[in-house]
Amino acid sequence: MTTILTLIACITAIAAYSIYYIDIKQSNLVPSRYSWIIWSLSISLETITFVQVSDDGIKSLYFIISSLCCIFITIRIWFSASWRGPNRAEKFSILFYALFLLLWPFIKVPFFAHGLLVLAIPVTFIPTYKSTLSNFRYENSLAWLLWSISDLIVVIIIFQRMKTITELPYAIVEFACHFSVAAIIIYRQFPVYKRLFEGKLNIPGKI
């Protein structure tokens, strides 16, 4: 059962990256180049430390595939997008993550090295949150929902095969970050949901 779930998670993640790639190719998205270069670096390092922490090939397979796909998308974005300097949110994200990278080599215990990178993940999403909140069309892709689904499947897999609690935070944080972007897109895209959340939806019969 775990193997089947892992294959489903991997296929879903690959489908998400493929959809995102097509959306970029069709110029439907305006992704943050700097976020993606940080993500490609961070997911590679996080995968390395996760493999050391979990020592489980089945659970690690998803993150290995995701890191390779993320690097491919990053290369595609950097070669296709027009050059521009980083904005304030991107500069903050880059500087913050650079600080984490400076500390990372000096941490000899895999658990703490992995934990440090996990803590940095939400910061790397700040530019994407900012751009999506200002204009959801910049990141309006089904990929975000598919990444959320694949991450949730991986959380279930880790629960089933978990040896230590240290394996869980990475998958949960990844799910939370991907799903929050998907939620922002849905919130910004559909006015009816926006009015509902703001308490401004006119419901017949409501006093």
Q: How far apart are CA 61 and CA 47, in angstroms?
A: 9
Q: Is the pLDDT of residue 204 over 50?
A: no
Looking at residue 71, its amino acid is I
Which tops the pLDDT comparison, 180 or 187? Answer: 180
pLDDT digits (tens, 9 = 90+) for 38-48: 888 878 877 77
Provide, rounded to the nearest whole percent, the portion of the chain with pLDDT above 90: 23
pLDDT digits (tens, 9 = 90+) for 8-58: 999 999 999 999 989 888 877 777 777 888 888 878 877 777 777 666 677
Domains of the chain, residue spans: 2-197
Q: How far apart are CA 41 and CA 101, in angstroms?
A: 10
Closest CA to 38 of 77, 1, 2: 77
Which three-class secondary structure state does DSSP give residue 140? coil
Q: How far apart are CA 67 and CA 29, in angstroms?
A: 21
pLDDT digits (tens, 9 = 90+) for 119-159: 878 888 888 888 888 888 888 899 999 999 999 999 998 88
